[in-house]
Amino acid sequence: MEDKKTEGQKLQERLSYNSINIWNKISGDERKKLDDFCNGYKLFLDRAKTEREYVAEARKEAEKYGFVSFDELVKKDEKLSPGTKVYKIIRNKAMILSVIGKRPIEEGVNIIGGHIDAPRIDLKQNPLYEDSEMGLMKTHYYGGIKKYQWVAIPLALHGVVIKADGTVVNICIGEDDNDPVFTISDLLPHLAKDQMDKKMSEGITGEGLNLLFGSEPYNDEKASNKVKLNILNILNQKYGIVEEDFYTAELEIVPAFKARDIGIDRSMIGAYGQDDRVCSYPAMKAIFELKDIERTAVCLLTDKEEIGSMGNTGAESRLFEDFLAALCAIGNDKYNDIVLRKCLNNSMMLSADVNPAFDPNYESVYDKRNASYFGKGIVIEKYTGARGKAGGSDANPEFIAKVRKIFNENSIAWHVAELGKVDQGGGGTIAQYIANLGAEVLDCGVSILSMHAPYEVTSKADVYTFYNGCKVFYEKMQ
Ligand code: MN
Ligand code: MN
């Protein structure tokens, strides 16, 4: 056929950047693979709503793929051979997976790191009380939530109670269809004049987020606080716990909804906790399936990102450095600190976290030209931070170019974005903590609507593309 393109059109094709919509490129077999992957993701979301559940589920899956406990291998001090798959669990709330490559460890590793905690509402240490013959639980929210989104919805209680003798009791109430659920009450509109006149940030207060837990009194005229007593009795019969056990518990309230398809075309996923499971799950699945790789691959799954990555399960701690040191040292009698330093400085990382998808309902807070969109694939963010990039991590363009090259060569769709308008707000990820150790780090991830809400939305095309991108990064990044 005769080429009817004008000079200008040809020039445009050669010089201008054209973004794509992945859906236009997916058909047949590929669509089936996409759906299968997303169905697995949805099931995982339902089973792993907290960091502890994530670690427990991930461990089960990892073992199916032949991963073994790194701590066990360290005890034997065996030299690891290419293809060995290991996992390390840090205090049941963070996890590192690794597949050993053929290249020497001091040449660096390829890391994809995300977080497995999510915004939620925690029970206070002394939670249970009775007021007006209702049993309630005091709470303290975790991470950046809009409090008004968490009232008048079904909630589930997850976590652990450590009894005086050290016994661990796992709690999960509200996920089985036969379970009861809980809720935080909201004010009826008829009496909400004063509330509705308040600023949104003040309409619901932190101290007002009290979980409705029961209302039936214990049947004994002489006992006091009978609703509370009845609740304690039920908990004691079911879990063998007493009130003081709450003081040594970690109990988290999360939405009781299940992950569902969104849209008449089923092109999206709605679920709680997709920040950052939508990145950490694909990164984990990608490392599960690796074989015959050049550089050692590491998947870093951290806790406490939503409150600043502090503590001994967060990315700001030395958990990653400690793991890498042990990886450099195992079966190597010539180990010294410089091996670890070389490894860190030669390492490359994708810091995998979500980016707010452009939302036509809230156009004014985005720079349309530097926003992420559903269906356009992996979001690359050169830098994070707020108001003048403060507190952010800023990737080196030499490194971004390497990522760009392998994504383009392997048909991985990607686009660039930052977190909203310059002076509107901002945020950060775990990138800076690993960059501080000397590695090259680039923020990238998946576009998300309603970030930090009880029900977050992602595009299936993006979830699947991110998974493919993770595989490419692990396999091809040199
Ligand atoms: Mn996140
Ligand atoms: Mn977040």
Cα of 116 to ligand 1 centre, how many Å? 9
Q: What is the pLDDT of residues 262-309, one digit of tens each?
A: 999 999 999 999 999 999 999 999 999 999 999 999 999 999 999 999
The superfamily in CATH containing domain 17-118+272-476 is: Zn peptidases (3.40.630.10)
Q: What percent of the chain has pLDDT over 70?
A: 99
pLDDT at residue 33 above 70? yes
Q: Are strands 260-262 and 268-271 parallel, antiparallel or unpaired?
A: antiparallel
Average pLDDT taken over every residue of the chain: 96
d(CA 188, CA 211): 17
Q: Kindly state the tokens that stand for 373.
A: 């969109």
pLDDT (0 to 100) of residue 426: 85
pLDDT at residue 2 above 80? no
- Name the fold adopted by 120-255: Aminopeptidase i, Domain 2 (2.30.250)
List C-alpha distances in Å: 423 to 18, 366, 416, 456: 28, 10, 19, 24
pLDDT (0 to 100) of residue 338: 95
Q: How confident is the model at residue 1 (pLDDT cuts 50, 70, 90)?
A: low
Cis peptide leading into 276, omega within 30 of 0?
yes
Cα of 30 to ligand 2 centre, how many Å? 30
pLDDT at residue 332 above 90? no
List C-alpha distances in Å: 284 to 3, 80, 357, 371, 453: 46, 21, 23, 26, 24
- pTM score over 0.75: yes
Protein residues within 5 Å, CB atom, of ion ligand 1: 275-276, 353
How is the chain split into domains, by residue range?
17-118+272-476, 120-255
Average pLDDT (138-162) is 98
Average pLDDT (220-228) is 97
Which bound ligand lies closest to the C-alpha atom of 445? 1
Cα of 267 to ligand 1 centre, how many Å? 22
Cα of 306 to ligand 2 centre, how many Å? 5
Q: What is the pLDDT of residues 343-384, one digit of tens each?
A: 999 999 999 999 999 999 999 999 999 999 999 999 999 999
Cα of 303 to ligand 2 centre, how many Å? 11
Count the alpha carbons within 13 Å of 235 in the hemisphere toward its beta carbon: 24
pLDDT (0 to 100) of residue 19: 81
Cα of 117 to ligand 1 centre, how many Å? 8
